[in-house]
Amino acid sequence: MRQAVLAAAVDILATEGLAGATVAAVAGAAGVHETSVYRRWKTRENLILDALTTELDAALPIPDTGDVREDLERFFGSLASLLAGAHGRALLRLSVERDDSLDESRRAYWTDRLDRAAAMVERGVERGELVEGTDPGLLIEAVSGPLFARVLLSGASWGDTLVPRLVALALDGSRPRTDGGSGGS
């Protein structure tokens, strides 16, 4: 039952927004009793957050290829693909929608899910690919922030090169390197 209810919740959230995602509507779409939904999730807020978290974690797997650049390009490539589609954009817009029935502090579910990506950066530091003291959160924000800003502010689309270029900037910087290279991207 859990998968059917969560899938129905994500569909309704993406098509009708927060206001449409009532427990009754989700239960109806999933073909289960409203009381069963309340028994399992207790509140509408728990249901919505469980649906979004499960959806995002499934859409954004954390790669472990042994190469930090490759890992980051794959992970943020998944994020870019998600945000390039109507479904992902709708889910992102939920974050900026005001809804008094949801705790404001829980709006951070996107950025919370991205915190999982820290593991890729930490492995890069352990392998010596990144300098000691690299801040995983900062690096993640420097690549994801521009994608979020494009969707929310300008609506600008992007091609296949944006993610590799953002990853390259965060890894290589824009100051000349005496070792002469951007590491091959």
If one counts every other C-beta atom within 10 angstroms of the C-beta of residue 18, the result is 17
CB of 57 to a copy of itself, least distance (A): 17
If one counts every other C-beta atom within 10 angstroms of the C-beta of residue 184, the result is 6
Residue-wise DSSP of 86-117:
HHHHHHHHHHHS--TTS-GGGGGHHHHHHGGG
> Of the candidates 85, 60, 76, which has an alpha carbon nearest to the alpha carbon of residue 171?
76
CB of 23 to a copy of itself, least distance (A): 25
* C-alpha to C-alpha distance for 80 and 88, rounded to whole angstroms: 9
Beta carbon nearer to a copy of itself, 31 or 173 = 173
Beta carbon nearer to a copy of itself, 84 or 152 = 152
Contact positions toward a copy of itself, by CB under 8 A? 93, 95-96, 104-105, 107-108, 110-111, 121, 124, 128-131, 134-135, 138-139, 141-150, 152-156, 165-166, 169-179, 183
CB of 53 to a copy of itself, least distance (A): 15
For 180, the token pair is: 């002469």
Beta carbon nearer to a copy of itself, 54 or 185 = 185
Helix (H) or strand (E) holding 42: none
CB of 50 to a copy of itself, least distance (A): 19
Beta carbon nearer to a copy of itself, 9 or 147 = 147
Q: For the chain, what is the largest distance between any 2 Cα atoms, rounded to a whole number of angstroms?
A: 66
Beta carbon nearer to a copy of itself, 47 or 167 = 167
Residues with Cβ within 8 Å of 113's Cβ and at least 6 positions away in sequence, in order, are 53, 56, 57, 60
CB of 177 to a copy of itself, least distance (A): 6
